[in-house]
Amino acid sequence: MRIGIGLNLLAPDNGGVTNYALTLLRHWPEFAPDHPMILFSFAHNEPLLATLPPASRQHEIRLQTQEEALEHFDKIDVYFCPFGTLWPRPVRKPSVLTFHDMQERFYPEFFTVKELEERFFHYDWSLRMADAVVAVSDFTRDMSVQIAGATRGKFHVVPHAPDALPPPVKPAAWTPHDDTRPFVFYPANFWKHKNHLRLLSAFGEARARGADLTLVCTGSLLGREAEWREAVTAAGVADRVRHLGKVPRAEISWLFHHARALVFPSLFEGFGIPLVEAMQTGCPIACGHNTSQPDVARDSALYFDASAPASIASAILRIAADEPLRTRLLAAGRQRAGDFTARRLVDGHLAAFATACRRHTPLRAWFNERVRLPRSQRPRTALTPWEARVAARLLRARARVPNGYEHVSS
């Protein structure tokens, strides 16, 4: 099989999705040398693609637009889009989509009307037109099937395998004063679903309850620096919060290795790569009992209610001080980390590509072009009441902490 991979959305601010794509490309020649990956790349990809070994880029075609990929379809057997949308679509080749989440169905208030319209247009119809779909978690598959009506049989659940973190290097912005107290760590861009505001409130409460800790954050502030400063000041934690911005992975590695815990209060995750990175580096985890997080962390995390600052604060206090708990979580995390391997990542994608080749038929291609494509042109900008009910039901089902998992309630 020759797989053409569309890379237009490969960008630094795409968070875990970018890490996933780079990890797949990095390991593809090692585990699938007989199935070349042909990169449909763009000039803006170059800084990220430059981090790959030469073997990962031996088949590369530089494009100006995504639509130009169609001119090179004689060179591929399968067309693969790893960033959540199949484009261009439909195509007269077996097509595979990696789908990450449809957060807008659960938290539409986090999106503009234009963003909602674009997501409805791209996500629903990409899922329906693709011949096979790689879902990054059971939760992602379930939302795709139950909300978008995608065919369950086309899905392959393939967990992420985070690229190995490099040897740790102390952050360039670290100061001797930073070494005076332990810290908890949160790596995340300042997106609304990452829930930084509740974390800051919770950290203020934890400090009032005796926590002698610093909160260290990394990631892009997305141009909202003033909003971040105001939130830190309002929470009364300006002297105990350090935001280091976007830092190299070697510095991320150092922070994981030296943090008292990863505190991960996200309201919504399709997967959650930092959870696995914490397991790999021996960093205890406290995270929300929502969406995909229990699927990923299982019994290697202390769970809290991410919508309740008091619950987050209790988790911070407990995971920082309870040594028997920390020991149990670290042991469970080391064992769980072994499930997220590059070999499993590559093999899962090969299985999805094979499914696409089996499912792609002239009749499916005709139906995509003559029926689905015209229907996809009808714009919409709001959830239906039915979608809202299904999304709420999925969130409720995922909010229960399984028996035997550590959790706090207040």
Mean pLDDT in residue range 54-61: 97
Mean pLDDT in residue range 36-64: 96
pLDDT, tens digit (0-9, with 9 covering 90-100), for 352-363: 999 999 999 999
- Evaluate whether 3-161+342-379 and 176-339+402-407 have a shared fold: yes
Question: Residue 303 is inside which H or E element, if any?
Answer: strand 301-304
pLDDT of amino acid 410: 57
pLDDT band at 162 (very low <50, low <70, confident <90, very high): confident
Residue 316 has pLDDT above 70, yes or no: yes
pLDDT, tens digit (0-9, with 9 covering 90-100), for 164-219: 889 999 999 999 888 889 999 999 999 999 999 999 999 999 999 999 999 999 99
What is the average pLDDT score of the chain? Answer: 95
pLDDT, tens digit (0-9, with 9 covering 90-100), for 82-139: 999 999 999 999 999 999 999 999 999 999 999 999 999 999 999 999 999 999 999 9
CA 211 remoteness from chain centre:
30
Third-level CATH fold of 3-161+342-379:
Rossmann fold (3.40.50)
Strand bridging mode 241-243 / 214-218: parallel
Task: Fill in the amino acid letter for 378.
Answer: R
Nearest-5° angle of CA 99, CA 9, CA 45? 140
Residue 230 has pLDDT above 70, yes or no: yes
Question: Residue 242 is inside which H or E element, if any?
Answer: strand 241-243
Task: Enumerate the β-bridge partners of residue 235.
Answer: none
pLDDT of amino acid 97: 97
pLDDT band at 13 (very low <50, low <70, confident <90, very high): confident
Domain 176-339+402-407 has CATH 3.40.50.2000: yes
**Alpha-carbon distance 408 to 303, whole Å?**
6
The sheet carrying 95-99 orders its strands as: 60-62, 37-41, 3-6, 78-81, 95-99, 132-135, 155-157
Cis bond before residue 187 (omega within 30° of 0): no
Mean pLDDT in residue range 234-242: 95
Task: Enumerate the β-bridge partners of residue 262.
Answer: 185, 285
Determine what percent of the chain is predicted with pLDDT higher than 90: 92
Cis bond before residue 248 (omega within 30° of 0): no
Question: Residue 250 is inside which H or E element, if any?
Answer: helix 249-258
Determine what percent of the chain is predicted with pLDDT higher than 70: 100
Q: Where along the chain do its domains lie?
A: 3-161+342-379, 176-339+402-407
pTM over 0.75: yes
Which residues 6+ apart lie within 8 Å of 65 measured at CB? Answer: none
**Alpha-carbon distance 289 to 408, whole Å?**
10
Mean pLDDT in residue range 215-239: 96
pLDDT of amino acid 401: 82
**Alpha-carbon distance 150 to 130, whole Å?**
10
**Alpha-carbon distance 357 to 359, whole Å?**
6
Exposed / middle / buried, residue 61 (Cβ in 10 Å: 0-12, 13-18, 19+): middle
pLDDT of amino acid 288: 96
Exposed / middle / buried, residue 71 (Cβ in 10 Å: 0-12, 13-18, 19+): exposed
pLDDT of amino acid 15: 72
pLDDT, tens digit (0-9, with 9 covering 90-100), for 263-295: 999 999 999 999 999 999 999 999 999 999 999
